[in-house]
Amino acid sequence: MGGIDLKFRQKLYTALLGTVLMVILITSLIQFRTIEGMGQKIEENVAPTMAEHAKQIALLESQKYAVMIDERLRPLIVVTNSYANSIGSLYVRDEVEPGYSRTPIFGASVFSRLGDLKNSNEDIINAYYADETGKVIIIPRAELPEGYNATKSSWYRGAVSRGAFWMEPYTDIITNKTVITYVTPVKYKGAVKGVLGIDVDFSYLANEIVNTRVGKTGYLFVISPNGTVIIHPDPEVVGKLNVFEDGRYAALARAMKNSEEGVVEVELDGTKMVISFARSKTTNWTIAAAAPENELIGGLVTALDEAKTDASKELLYGMTVTILVAGGLYS
């Protein structure tokens, strides 16, 4: 009788275990299908949100570099404007000593201030002052072309007519550095007496901008207030592409004229591109980030797929442990 009862119990346990395993298997399959279905549902429902999020990713890149430029250049503006005021104050002696501002003593005082200005920041390559006669005092000392008259230069006339501004970057032929120039008028009692300028090494930020990738193949570029591209990973584009004149960038041009930052979609060479932009407050340049839309969204889709895979792995692990435990109890 004992042997019969044992065999009966074994058959019963086997039947129960089979039932349990079948339930676990069916439940797991349902859960796998549920995870896959939920994933597809999420992708369908959040597709517009992912597209919007992709645009925000691009916009953050533009904003980041606009802020970096402002933070790097703002201190230079403050210190240069301070020295402009200091040089302007020297003209007070003309009131008691007419012609003083044409004397070597005046020139020596300006030269001393230019030296202090240059030494105030390691990024300053040159500091110079041009008075209303066109004479230039520069540190480090440099030989200017014979007959050079600064009042006829674009930087001098620009500062006199519109006030302080940053000039577009250029590559120094001697050092091969990317240089930008800041000029500001020097005034005494409201009258312009000359223009103070500094040449600044901009290589570090320029290199970082051209080497940054947005998505896999996206890139950053910088646009001057007149629409000309002044920094770009492709040097052939610099100075030649104007987004206000090239019809492919019409959407970007309209947005830039109406706002300091934003995101637009354009088609370049058959590819749908997301272009974000943000304006630097110190230079008035616009920093743009361009990337294929599918690359920006692709990263989000990959993250979602990874989440589904992780959930499936966790479910498979839990099912395996349950089966092992059930088998252990049977043995």
Report the candidate in 167, 183, 163 with the shortest Cα–Cα distance to residue 226: 167
pLDDT at 11 (0 to 100): 58
- Helix/strand/coil for 274: strand
Amino acid present at 285: W
pLDDT at 51 (0 to 100): 64
pLDDT at 166 (0 to 100): 96
The answer to whether 260 and 67 are in contact (CB under 8 A) is no
Report the CATH fold assignment for 74-201: Beta-Lactamase (3.30.450)
β-pair type (170-171, 178-188): antiparallel
pLDDT at 219 (0 to 100): 94
Q: Which residues contact 72 (CB under 8 A, 6 or more apart)?
A: 205
How open is the CA angle 56-60-62, to the nearest 5 degrees? 115
Largest Cα–Cα separation, the chain: 134
Amino acid present at 138: I
pLDDT at 287 (0 to 100): 97
Residue with tokens 């006829």: 152
Please confirm whether the linkage preceding 140 is cis (ω < 30° from 0). yes
Report the candidate in 145, 121, 117 with the shortest Cα–Cα distance to residue 129: 117
* Backbone Cα Rg of the chain: 34
- At what angle are helices 2-89 and 293-330 packed, to 10 degrees? 150
pLDDT at 143 (0 to 100): 85
Per-residue tens of pLDDT for the chain, all 331 residues: 445 555 555 555 555 555 555 655 556 555 545 545 544 554 444 445 556 777 788 888 999 999 999 999 999 999 999 999 999 999 999 999 999 999 999 999 999 999 999 999 999 999 999 999 999 999 998 888 888 999 999 999 999 999 999 999 998 877 788 999 999 999 999 999 999 999 999 999 999 999 999 888 899 999 999 999 999 999 999 999 999 999 999 999 999 999 999 999 998 888 889 999 999 999 999 999 999 888 776 555 455 445 545 544 554 555 554 555 445 544 5
The answer to whether 250 and 233 are in contact (CB under 8 A) is no
Report the candidate in 193, 236, 211, 202 with the shortest Cα–Cα distance to residue 90: 193
pLDDT at 50 (0 to 100): 59
pLDDT at 45 (0 to 100): 46
